[in-house]
Structure 1
Amino acid sequence: MAPTSLPTVRLPSGDTIAVLGQGTWGMAEDARRRKEEIAALRLGLNSG
């Protein structure tokens, strides 16, 4: 997958971060979904 440019925002500290984030709300609420949730996080991290 080719990298794409995401919009960024500059924080008061001067650091720049992507506007889009990967949320984890509701994760780990059902142990049966653990493997799928970890896979989703890894995919997001690996995709940049």
Structure 2
Amino acid sequence: MEAIGVVVNPIAGMGGRVGLKGTDGNVEEARRRGAEPRAPDRAREA
């Protein structure tokens, strides 16, 4: 049986939702503004 691995960046897309241009170095600020990680849930659905 073959297996496929997937690597998910858990903070992907968080910054854009709260008006930041990405989250590189700004994860804490994104969270303060109410951002929540959604990439892991979306990966599970796919």
Higher strand share: 1
Which structure would you say has the larger RCO, counting Cα contacts within 8 Å and 6 or more residues apart? 2
- TM-score, normalization by structure 1: 0.26
Bigger Rg, which one: 1
- TM-score, normalization by structure 2: 0.27
